[in-house]
A and B are shown apart, each in its own frame.
Chain A
Amino acid sequence: QSVLTQPPSVSAAPGQKVIISCSGSSSNIGNNYVSWYQQFPGTAPKFLIYDNNKRPSGIPDRFSGSKSGTSATLGITGLQTGDEADYYCGTWDSSLSAWVFGGGTKLTVL
């Protein structure tokens, strides 16, 4: 059971928008920045979003992040079949003194 809660799967059609949620508590999301990672099968996670809503260099602006209270979301617009991957949220948990991740969300672009 992950400390951060994500839906197991989401799906949308090409060109559409999808939102992936990540729910936590005051000891993690509520008081720390959230990051997001994209992972294709058989490959390492890729850094996608940091500090709730910032994109590292090279990440297209189709990807966005936001945070409100103890929840965060990842938004992807203009969906492409190449966006099909697993997405994970993560942050530091101040009470556990531990890094925590969500269980991951599998995105299917129909």
Chain B
Amino acid sequence: EVHLLESGGDLVQPGGSLRLSCAASGFTFSSYAMGWVRQAPGKGLEWVSFITGSGDSTYYADSVKGRFTISRDNSKSTLYLQMNSLRVEDTAVHYCARRGIEGATNFDYWGQGTLVTVSS
């Protein structure tokens, strides 16, 4: 059974940093691209970042480009999101999600989410 478990969410001051982790199990992690999607309180889904299975290619939403870095450790089946220069508007539940089969335009499994709160 596919399982994604995020961790690392916390309360942080504006300008601070945080690293989120997503531990994956139940599938061959290196064979799947992964992404981060966030949801601000009372708002809709917002895609944040995406990384291919090998980690060779990464993509970012304009709202986080230059501040966030996505990475993965396939030996540990873990996805990361390094978040720097955090802003109040980054406050959201952050979900990690698995992209479907190669070339798919969907996320077929989602974690339960971890809350990032940016506030002074």
Contacts and interface: CB of A to CB of B under 8 A. Distances in A.
Interface of A: 2, 32-35, 37, 39, 43-47, 50-51, 56, 86, 88, 90-92, 97-104
A38 B109 CA distance: 12
A47 to B, nearest CB: 5
Given A33-B104, A33-B105, A91-B105, A44 B45 contact: no
Contacts of B44: 2, 86, 88, 101-104
Contacts of A101: 37, 44-47
Most chain A beta carbons < 10 A, residue from B45, B46, B100: B45
A58 to B, nearest CB: 12
A98 B59 contact: yes
A6 to B, nearest CB: 9
A13 B77 CA distance: 45
Given A43-B112, A47-B106, A101-B44, 15 more contacts: A2-B44, A33-B106, A35-B107, A44-B113, A45-B45, A45-B95, A46-B110, A47-B107, A47-B110, A86-B44, A90-B107, A91-B105, A97-B59, A101-B47, A104-B45
Given A44-B95, A45-B95, A50-B100, A100 B47 contact: yes
Contacts of B113: 44
A56 B110 CA distance: 14
A90 B105 CA distance: 8
Contact of A88 (B35, B45, B62, B109): B45
A44 B111 contact: yes
